[in-house]
Chain A
Amino acid sequence: MTAQPSVAGPAASVGRIWAVALNTFREAARIRVLYGILVLVVASNLLALVMGEMSIREETRVARDVGLAGISLFGSLTAIFLGVFLLYSEVQRRTIHAIVSKPIERWEFVFGKYLGMALVLSVLVALFGLAMALLLGSQGVAPSLAVAKALVLAWAEVLTVAAIAIFFSSFSSPFLSGIFALGLFALGRLTPDIEAAAATAQGTWIPAVATVALELVPDLHLFSISGRMLDGVAVSVHGEFVGWGYVATALGYGALWILGLLAASSLLFQRRDFS
């Protein structure tokens, strides 16, 4: 008998997660839609520039706002798209049979799948940001620290949304997962607005229900803070933006949600039959 490599231990586990991540990255990089989305983002940035030209106020202001909004919106939609399809197609096309019959644990597969997706999304967000910086640069606007922070926050949002999508796809079809994930995305984004609206219905059951519902949803609005009020102070990429402390807290918040969602996905995935 030949000596067998050990399958136990954290190093072996990381090796398997990485193998799945790498393969997922390869798979996603072949999805043509992603390149289409990249073109869309660049186009929306260009459109923003043109609109800026027409506005009376500082033209690059519009460009920055639209650019950042485009990154977090298109990034999140891409995250939902990848999240609901990549895991599902492994089961549907039975490619998973030759994988989970090897000494990989199901949770390692889920984490590897997510990591690969996160890599793709990170590259995408970086490209979005680069495109935006280049366009702004062509208008003579130097890249600002505020925009960099906003980009990091958008990136964290996109990764959190990807985890939401994976969570739903670990037990339902792409269509339903997509609807659930979009719903959660909207709820998370509009949390303060919903709270404000619910507050106007004081004295009914609405505020209570809204509070409970919003507790169950990640506060995605924390990631797109520009143009909102924070502790009574207006925050904007064009003026007084958040500090790195805020960014770090938001990243930690996102990381906790991601870990929780992946843990729940792994539990659900563990119970599934593949036939």
Chain B
Amino acid sequence: MREPCADGALGPQVALSLAASVSALAIEVRGLEKTYRTPFRRRKVEALRGVSFSVERGRVFGFLGPNGAGKTTTIRVLMGLIRPSAGSCRIMGHDLPSQVARSRVGFLPEQPYFYDYLTVSELLDLAGRLFGLDRATRRRRADELIAKVGLDRARSQSLKKYSKGMLQRAGLAQALMNDPDVVVLDEPTSGLDPVGRKEVRELILELRDAGKTVFFSSHILSDVETIADEIAIVARGQIQSQGTPRELVGQSLQGTEIVLRLAADAANSDAERSLAAPARAARRIADELTVTLAAEDDVDAYLALAHGLGAKVVSVVPRHETLEAVFLRQIAGADASGSAREGRV
């Protein structure tokens, strides 16, 4: 299209797929902005204020943020449901909204609504038709996926009779009908009980092991922390930070927690006092003393001291900042700068 050589020996189709396969990124989002205008109240909502991130192929990417952060808005732009006010996205190297890109993606909407008069088999058949699968493939994939998400016993019920968790499973199944390269899940674990959440986490890891890229949003920290290879924290329509869970929380050692068992009769002795002195905090229950050393303290020297005083080392645990703390701190930061900006207006 842009150059005359597109009509050359390779043909546009081949050229397109070559260009696509070169990109190592499954998802690229650049400078996304979205302003909602409510028509009557004349109020503007800046849902996205320059969101950029990229997801490498084969990764599990967690999109973490509080309510109203802009997660769903980002995902809707990514899936071509809404048009951004500015910015661009690419999926598997294809510009959006492209039909080819959509054929390579599986999507689970937030709080999925499906045609409630269909059974799960019919829903999957419809999805398969839209992906252009032939009848045999549709049937085979549907059977596999219904078994995988555990809806075998409910397969002849209409979706109207499904519980929230069952709908979520049906939604996951329809997202996987095309055996997608990229899976985009908007809050896949919301509304699920602990067993259901664990199953979804396992399904996501299974998809990763099959070489797929998984992009999912959540505000459930433990879900993101346990399965994501990479996390972006979003608040107030902007990415606050992005990195591996270790990068986000592990850089700053907060201190070291050491549990000692004191020698007989050492309680309330000079020995206890000299063990407690260098610690930032110390607490004794019966003959167990728990001390917390500051990050910069010499742990080896302290352990030698304890050894010399006849104490036994029960455990030594380095304490990092938790993801929760990082998350809360960044949200608070975003809120503060947001309020400051609004105050100026």
Which residues of A are in contact with B by a Cβ distance under 8 Å? Answer: 1-2, 4-8, 12, 15-16, 18-19, 23, 26-27, 30, 93-95, 97-105, 271, 273-275
Contact = CB atoms under 8 A, between A and B. Distances in A.
Contacts of B3: none
A-B pairs, top 9 by smallest CB distance, nearest first, are A19-B129, A273-B82, A103-B103, A101-B79, A5-B132, A102-B130, A97-B109, A274-B81, A103-B102
Interface in B59-109: 72-73, 76, 79-83, 99-100, 102-105, 107, 109
Interface string B151-179: 00000000000000000000100100011
Interface in B2-46: 36
A95 B168 CA distance: 14
A93 B76 CA distance: 16
B299 interface: no
A26 B115 CA distance: 10
A97 B99 CA distance: 15
A105 B129 contact: no
A15 B81 contact: no
B81 A95 contact: no
B82 A98 contact: no
A100 B131 CA distance: 11
B110 to A, nearest CB: 8
A105 B179 CA distance: 20
B131 A98 contact: no
Given A5-B137, A275-B76, 11 more contacts: A4-B103, A23-B115, A95-B114, A97-B109, A98-B113, A99-B130, A101-B109, A102-B107, A103-B103, A273-B83, A275-B73
B271 interface: no
A93 B113 CA distance: 7
Chain B residues touching A, majority SS? loop
Chain B: interface size category: 35 or more
Contacts of A12: 132
A29 B107 CA distance: 28
Contact of B81 (A100, A104, A271): A100
6 contacts: A4-B103, A15-B132, A98-B113, A99-B130, A102-B107, A104-B130
Contact of B109 (A2, A6, A26, A94): A94
Given A95-B113, A98-B112, A273-B82, A15 B129 contact: yes
Contacts of B181: 1
B236 to A, nearest CB: 18
A257 B178 CA distance: 37
B80 A101 contact: yes
A5 B76 contact: no
B342 interface: no
Contacts of B174: 98
